Amino acid sequence: MRRNQVAVVGAAETTKLGVIPDMSQIQLHADAALNAMADAGLKPSDIDGVATAVESPQQIAHYLGITPTWVDGTSVGGCSFMLHVRHAAAAIEAGLCKTVLITHAESGKSMIGKQPRSFQADSLQGQFEAPYGIYGPPSQFPIPVLRFMKTWGITHEQLAMVAVVQREWAAKNPRATMKDPITVADVLNSRMIAYPFRLLQCCLVTDGGGALIMTSADRAKDFPHKPVYVLGTGESVETPMVSQMESFNSSRAFKVAGPTAFREAGISHSDVDHLMIYDAFAHLPLFGLGDLGFMPYEETGKFIADGNTRPGGKLPLNTNGGGLSYMHSGMYGMYALQESVRQMRGIAPAQVPNAKISVCHGVGGMFAASGTIIFTNEK
Amino acid sequence: MAEPARARPKITPETQHYWDGAKAGELRLQRCDSCDHAYFPPRPFCPKCGSRGVSVFKASGKGTLYSYVINHRPLAPGFTEPYAIAVVELEEGPRMMSNILDCPQTPEALELDMKLEVTFQTIDDNLTLPQFRPAKG
């Protein structure tokens, strides 16, 4: 994909985040979409491309009154929206549509108008994992952690620091769900969920949504806000079964998506001013730093524990507070993208001064899928 | 009211041999006749080279503990105490999920790379689950 040919011209989250018991899931989509259209100065009739996950594109297009010429229903978990951005950029460049709306929303806490997640008893996961007591993401996502720790010499304290540092970012963000400072001891004494992870190393469960609007770079300059250009993109999938990953020392999906985006962008790691790595659980930033090639895996834990990713550090990471402290409605990738866009617009609550390049890396399922988007505010 | 039951596999044509094997006290894997790749979970072709020429064989049942969590909450239906959800690396190469039976469910007792052996847990007349326990001797 060519660099900087497509831009984000509208971006917004739902009016409220957290616990929203008075809104169904599809209305959360609409709330985010209407906010994003207002941000871009557009009406539903201006949109000709729709991408969404879990809910179908026809559901969203009909509810919002949109007649699309292009849709994308890619639904590979929480990074689906990174893949939507990539696919939308390609579609806009190919002339399949001009103005794409990407929506996410999930009534993850209140469960209004939302189907419970489940898998079939005759799927491979249903046959070869479910009988052993997997039951929700906390029982599955941390399964690789002990192997990763042993191979790379990562400590429990370093994995606790991930949560501590992200809470420091969240404290700067009025919309963050959890803002009170925490210590390593707080993390290591919080309730055990799935050893080795405790409550404060697991993501929040909240309600909310977000939406993005994309168009060609040529048109982007006529919109109300500073365009945020798509500089590079990558995607991949590995397996829906965490037990069947090629290795627990890294993520194959991350190692394909991340470096693909860097190659496409034509940048090196030292060019990155701002970084988002989807943190459903505390180990993901370590996998991400290693798999995206920022540093050898054995240095990732120390890098975070030494404060390099905290406010004022040399590599600001998860500056909204992340899935651990900002919000996590179930498919957090959209909120990571929103924070990258805010940072590139220069309007983030914890703004990184003069940030010009933002890398936004997402995960879907339990390392099942991955998408990486690199944004810039300079064309 | 009966205790909520553990999730049960629903067998498909491609996995029938595996579950029949468990009932007969055998851990059955598959190997490619062309490239010799041993693999799991079951499917009637080789995921490495795409050949449809594959054979079912009885695995040694030996493995090592690759990684695990000890799940505290929420407990899955059919489980009443914190339990390890482990991934076992089989001698033949493939990895598979298992619980670790006949062993305290603690970090001290569950050491990565410890030797394990297969055992078969009878859930009821219709279902036997392959499981692993610390190797004896």
> What confidence tens digit (pLDDT) does each residue in A246-276 have?
999 999 999 999 999 999 999 999 999 999 9
Please provide the distance, in angstroms rounded to a whole number, between the alpha carbons at the two ends of chain B.
Answer: 43
- Joined tokens for residue A281: 């659980």
pLDDT in tens, B49-58: 999 999 999 9
Residue type, B102: D
Residue A135 near chain B (CB below 8 Å): yes
Confidence of residue B137 (pLDDT cuts 50, 70, 90): low
DSSP letter for A41, please.
T
Superfamily of segment(s) A137-200+232-376: Thiolase/Chalcone synthase (3.40.47.10)
Cα separation, B129 vs B39, in Å, equals 18
Inter-CA distances, B19 with A287, B55, B57, Å = 35, 16, 13
| Position B65 in a domain | yes
- Per-residue confidence (pLDDT) for residue A23, from 0 to 100: 95
Q: Bin A225: left if φ > 0, else alpha if -120 < ψ < 50, else beta.
A: beta
> What residues pair up with A237 in beta bridges, in sequence order?
A369
Confidence of residue A9 (pLDDT cuts 50, 70, 90): very high
Domain hosting B80: range is: 13-134
Q: What percent of chain A has pLDDT over 90?
A: 96
Cα separation, A20 vs A111, in Å, equals 10
Which residue among B6, B69, B96 places its CB closest to the CB of A143?
B69
The strands making up A274-277's β-sheet, listed across from edge to edge, are A70-72, A49-52, A99-107, A207-216, A6-13, A228-237, A369-376, A357-364, A274-277
Residues of A in contact with B41 (CB under 8 A): 124, 127-128, 241, 244
As annotated, the residues of chain A forming the CATH 3.40.47.10 domain(s) are: 6-115+207-227, 137-200+232-376
Residues of B in contact with A145 (CB under 8 A): 67, 69
| Position B7 in a domain | no
The size of the A-B interface in CB pairs under 8 A is 114
Determine, for residues A133 and B6 on separate chains, whether the beta-carbon distance falls below 8 Å: yes
Residues of B in contact with A126 (CB under 8 A): 7, 9-10
Does position A98 have pLDDT exceeding 90, yes or no? yes
Confidence of residue A115 (pLDDT cuts 50, 70, 90): confident
Architecture of the domain made up of A6-115+207-227: 3-Layer(aba) Sandwich (3.40)
- Joined tokens for residue A191: 């309730």
Does position A48 have pLDDT exceeding 60, yes or no? yes
Residue B45 near chain A (CB below 8 Å): no
How many domains would you assign to chain B? 1
Determine, for residues A133 and B83 on separate chains, whether the beta-carbon distance falls below 8 Å: yes
| Position B20 in a domain | yes
Cα separation, A282 vs A154, in Å, equals 12
Which residues have a Cβ under 8 Å from the Cβ of A99 and sit 6 or more positions away? A42, A46, A47, A48, A49, A213, A214, A215, A219
Which residues have a Cβ under 8 Å from the Cβ of A297 and sit 6 or more positions away? A148, A151, A152, A249, A250, A286, A290
Please provide the distance, in angstroms rounded to a whole number, between the alpha carbons at the two ends of chain A.
Answer: 15
- Joined tokens for residue A41: 């100065």
Tell me if A13 sits within 8 A of A335, measured CB to CB.
Answer: yes
Determine, for residues A124 and B11 on separate chains, whether the beta-carbon distance falls below 8 Å: no
| Position B58 in a domain | yes
Which residue among B8, B11, B85 places its CB closest to the CB of A133?
B85
Chain B residue with CA closest to A199: the answer is B73
Determine, for residues A131 and B129 on separate chains, whether the beta-carbon distance falls below 8 Å: yes
Does position A114 have pLDDT exceeding 90, yes or no? no
> What residues pair up with A233 in beta bridges, in sequence order?
A373
**DSSP-based three-state secondary structure for B135:** coil
Tell me if A50 sits within 8 A of A57, measured CB to CB.
Answer: yes
The residue length of chain B stands at: 137
| Position B44 in a domain | yes
Interface test with B, best of A146, A191, A198 (most B CBs within 10 A): A146
Does position B1 have pLDDT exceeding 70, yes or no? no
Residues of A in contact with B79 (CB under 8 A): 133
